Amino acid sequence: MSALAGFDWEQIARWTALAIILVGLAQNALYLIQLLIAGRALSADPPVRRSAILWRRYADLAPPISLLSPAFNEEMTIVQSVRSLLSLQYPSYEVVVINDGSKDSTLQRLIDGFDLKPVSRAYDLAIDHEPIRGVYGSERIPRLVVVDKENGGKADALNAGINISRAPVLCSMDADSILEPDSLLRAVRPFVEDPGRVIAVGGTVRLANGCTISDGRVTKIGVSRNPLALLQTVEYLRAFLMARLAWSRIGALTIISGAFGLFRREPVLQVGGYTRGTVGEDMELVVKLHRYMRREKRDYRIAYIPEPVCWTEAPESLRVLGRQRARWHRGSLETFFRHLGMFLNPRYGRVG
Amino acid sequence: MDLSLLLLLWASSILLAGASLVLMLVLIILRWLRSIRMRRDKQIRDALFHELMMAGEEAGEQADVPETLVKRPRITAQVLLEFSTLVRGGEFEAALDKLRRAGAERRILALLTSRNREDCLAAAEALGFFGTKQARDALTNVLSRRVSLRLKIAAGRALLAMGERPDIGDLLSAFDIDDTVAPGELSAILTAIATGEPEVLSHRLEQDIDPPSVRAMMIDVMGRARVYGALPLLLSEACNSDVRIRAAAVDALGRLGLPEAKETLAAAIDDPEPDVRAEAAEAIGQAALVDLMPALEARLSDFDWGVRFRAANALVELGEDGRKRLRLIADGKGERGARTAALVLAERAMA
């Protein structure tokens, strides 16, 4: 007690208060700058509201896309999710569902739901992943390919999907994400407008809590009554519409949500696809792409579109939310330490 | 530390919080006003769409579109663009006529100078349907103004849709494209030119004044439009120093499928760039150049999967001889070649 008595507590309290206020002010200043950049970006390039106009403008020019949907123990929803993926508005795309060694009857549901048969498909082993047990296709729906493989996690499943797919642009997503019908048409815009430089595109993910969902589509936008979900709704809007839009504008976007992201196939293969065994594989891939493109001195852009393209459910209990956030932060730290060489390294510019 | 500093910080924090609350309130009011406007816009859009749909069914004398429905040119332009994706021919012309009589064109012309870029784009695209002198002049004027490249390209596309044939040199100099940012939309304009006046495109390519990305795009559209007269040009561009141009030229040669390309394709399949080799392999299959079968076989052990895959597919395209060779390779010992051959044969159900 006598040792503690020597401290000037009043002085410590003042400095602590000052530090808290300054950190708060700095954070708010950063948010304000992001808000201004995002506002400028939105007014300079306003979203196209009507998807028929997008179709008219881009349908003839849009590159083929492979939609990669990894699934693990999704027997309850998989058929409905895949049906919704097959009805997206896009002129040329294939849906590659990767059954990542599900323990339930996910594969059987798919086989029954889409009348799938085992097929042979030529593919390269460009990226490592757990062995593929079989590939299934349907005569009725030639754009659907189902890959059955040993369990290896989401990154591993996406790598298998990348090897199997053939389109020059890949779209990675979560099996439980709900895509807007025109999501691909909206997200492909930067690839059409700047084909020489754009290597990846992210889009706004919104929370489906409180929304009405039928037939795998959000039919009515609503707000959840759960306070945790409400807070996350505001947080998602801030993170996506403000932060990510601003970071992409200054060429420093380091994450494209795993729930929805488009990538040019060639650079993804060059960096070896997703890193297996990571927690934040979505962030890690984007940072790897930055690193590779800057090292190769290639002119590139990782773009972001503010339009909502994807809906996902947010956790509504503290326990699940805590687990999710712990996973996200572990992923961020893992990526940070894995690419520590980029930190404050002028060679990597704003990303560093 | 002086207490007054802390007080100052507290006071400024409270001031900022107050300002934030006021700003939030303003934003909420704006949002509310916007939702009212959007509801009204939707009503106008639905009513206008209905009027246009009815135009084709009104035989003889047509009822005019009420002026209130075309007061908002942004909505008129958007509805017209949407309508064009659903209806064509006489019914579309009847609807367009209705809009003309209601003075929609004049209003859309004014929208072309809006500060909202999306509105400008919609206006440029919609004006392409009207085909009047005013619309033509306004769109031509856009090409010389200091506006975004996207708007200029939209104006160029609209002029071509009107049947205008603007000089390609003028168009490309108006776009002022550097090599890294050639937009994909440009290929729509080049396709229209390649289909209508391919010799103009050939002449432009011969001049060799455009950046490589634009030249590659020109070659690509000539291949897709099957411009057979461009064969000599494509043969020479297949040896260009830029890989994008070489790949596009080889791809175009494949689309033409002429035996005259044999020697060029035989050289291209040994190109140092995998993109060119892959295009050459596919082109050999498309042109059915059976003499180049050994070159395809050799490429089955290429280090690049794209080349191996396309070479195997080309062998399948070359008929029974090609398939036989593929089966032999599939049964052989070459690791890469045997795997690729076996996979492609299995996929095409010819194992």
| CB within 8 Å: A124 and B305 | yes
Any domain includes B4: no
Question: Residue B318: inside a domain, yes or no?
Answer: yes
Q: What is the pLDDT of residue B103?
A: 87
Compute the CA torsion angle B278, B283, B289, B293 (nearest 10 deg). Answer: 10
Q: Does B178 touch chain A (CB under 8 A)?
A: no
Q: Which residues of A33-51 are buried (b: 16+ CB within 10 A; e: fewer)?
A: ebbebbeebeeebeebebb
Mean of pLDDT values over A221-248: 91
Amino acid A1: pLDDT: 53
- Contact across the interface for B1 and A18, Cβ inside 8 Å: yes
| Distance in angstroms (rounded) separating the CA atoms of residues B163 and B142 | 17
Looking at the structure, tell me whether residues B292 and B198 fall in a common domain: no
pLDDT recorded at residue A217: 85
Instruction: Identify whether residues B294 and B329 lie together within a single domain.
Output: yes
- Give the number of domains in chain A: 1
Q: B159 and B50, same structural domain?
A: yes
Instruction: Identify whether A254 is part of a domain.
Output: no
Distance CA B240, CA B254 (A): 17
pLDDT band at B59; cut points 50, 70, 90: low
* Residue B105: inside a domain: yes
Mean pLDDT computed over A267-295: 92
Chain A's closest residue to B153, CA to CA, is: A193
CA distance B284 to A273: 31
Task: Measure CB to CB from residue B181 to each of A52, A57, A194 and give the nearest one.
Answer: A194
**pLDDT tens per residue, range B18-50:** 998 998 899 899 999 999 999 999 999 999 999
B135 HSE (CA, 13 A, CB side) = 26
> Chain B neighbours among A 89-128 (CB < 8 Å)?
119-124, 126
- CATH at A148: 3.90.550.10
Q: Do residue B130 and residue B174 come from a single domain? A: no
- Segment A158-191, tens digit of pLDDT: 999 999 999 999 999 987 889 999 999 999 999 9
Average the pLDDT over each of A28-32, A144-148, B266-270, B332-336 and give the range with the smallest value: B332-336
Containing structural domain, residue A112: 64-167
Which residues have C-beta within 8 Å of that of residue B9, sequence separation ≥ 6? A18, A21, A22, A25
Reported as a single tens digit per residue, the pLDDT across B83-98 is 998 888 888 888 888 8
Residue B28 domain-assigned?
no
Is A322 a residue whose pLDDT tops 60? Answer: yes
**Same domain for B252 and B228:** yes
Instruction: Decide which of B164, B179, B199 is a domain's last residue.
Output: B164
Report yes or no on B251 lying in a domain: yes
Residue B180 lies in a domain: yes
Q: What residues does A149 pair with on adjacent strands? A: A100, A132
Instruction: Output the pTM of the full model.
Output: 0.88
Strands (E), chain A: 65-71, 93-100, 117-118, 132-137, 144-149, 169-173, 178-179, 198-207, 212-214, 217-220, 260-264, 301-312
Whether B6 maps to a domain, the answer reads no
pLDDT of A278 reads: 85
Whether residue B337 is predicted with pLDDT greater than 90 in this model: the reply is: no
Comparing C-alpha atoms, which of B319, B310, B318 is closest to residue B341? Answer: B310
Which residue, of B117, B144, B164, is where some domain finishes? B164
Give dist(CA B81, CA B96) in Å, integer: 11
Residue A100 lies in a domain: yes
Q: Is residue A122 part of a domain?
A: yes
Is residue B300 domain-shared with residue B193, that is, in the same domain? no
Residues B49 and B107 in one domain: yes
In a domain? residue A70: yes
**Number of independent structural domains in chain B:** 3
Mean pLDDT, range A267-272, rounded to an integer: 94
**Tens-place pLDDT, residues B116-134:** 888 999 999 999 998 889 9
> Which structural domain, as residue segments, surrounds residue B177?
165-256
Q: Which of B115, B131, B164 is the last residue of a domain?
A: B164
Residue A259 lies in a domain: no
8 Å CB contact of A120 and B343 = yes
Residue A291 counted as domain residue: no
In this predicted structure, what is the pLDDT of residue B101? Answer: 87
